[in-house]
A and B are shown apart, each in its own frame.
Chain A
Amino acid sequence: EPEVTQTPSHQVTQMGQEVILRCVPISNHLYFYWYRQILGQKVEFLVSFYNNEISEKSEIFDDQFSVERPDGSNFTLKIRSTKLEDSAMYFCASSSPLAIAGTGTDTQYFGPGTRLTVL
């Protein structure tokens, strides 16, 4: 069964450093997402991406964050200058080709996550 994959599984970085989290969504999906979960807290939406542009972003997704689909398979989240409070599990997700902008969503499939630790 197709699945979303993420690398690395665990990333440790120093405060102020840039990190890039990588995701390979399910191959025929068109909507891509990043969520994060700080330890002990709810899963929070960061950003959604469709047709090579951001379709929605949360207030968390400030200028320090960016997303990119550099080729036909990868979807990346970059944090330019990490802060201690960026430590969290970051999840990538994708949804089916039936999802059409503005009309809702089909099932979102999540990857296993990247645990980011900022020291």
Chain B
Amino acid sequence: KQEVTQIPAALSVPEGENLVLNCSFTDSAIYNLQWFRQDPGKGLTSLLLIQSSQREQTSGRLNASLDKSSGRSTLYIAASQPGDSATYLCAVTLIKAAGNKLTFGGGTRVLVKP
């Protein structure tokens, strides 16, 4: 059974510092991995999707890497801003999942202090 873990559960940084968020998964037979942002009491906003054949994906200040063999992904957020404060979730889809089921990590709650 696929398990997805995100450590740390919470992170606090001063504005301007780069953020490094970690995600690990137990079954490396993934089809893709998605990073989401969740604001309190709100839905999930998709940030980046990395296909299993990719090593990296970038969007603006965000960069996500994927090392499938070691079961890890890292989300980098450059030059953090107070508006980046949110919970960041990673989720994977297994190749054998006929229904495209996403399995989520528990998230990392980020606070960027002005």
Question: Chain A residues in contact with chain B, CB under 8 A?
Answer: 31, 33, 35, 41-45, 47-48, 50, 54-58, 91, 93, 95, 99, 101-102, 104-113, 115
Contact = CB atoms under 8 A, between A and B. Distances in A.
Given A105-B32, A111-B43, A113-B42, A56 B49 contact: no
Interface in B6-39: 31-32, 34, 36
Interface residues of B, number: 26
A113 B32 CA distance: 24
Nearest to B48: A107
Contact of B46 (A45, A107, A112, A115): A107
Contacts of B95: 104
Contacts of B91: 43
A112 B43 contact: yes
B77 to A, nearest CB: 19
A50 B100 CA distance: 10
A105 B43 contact: no
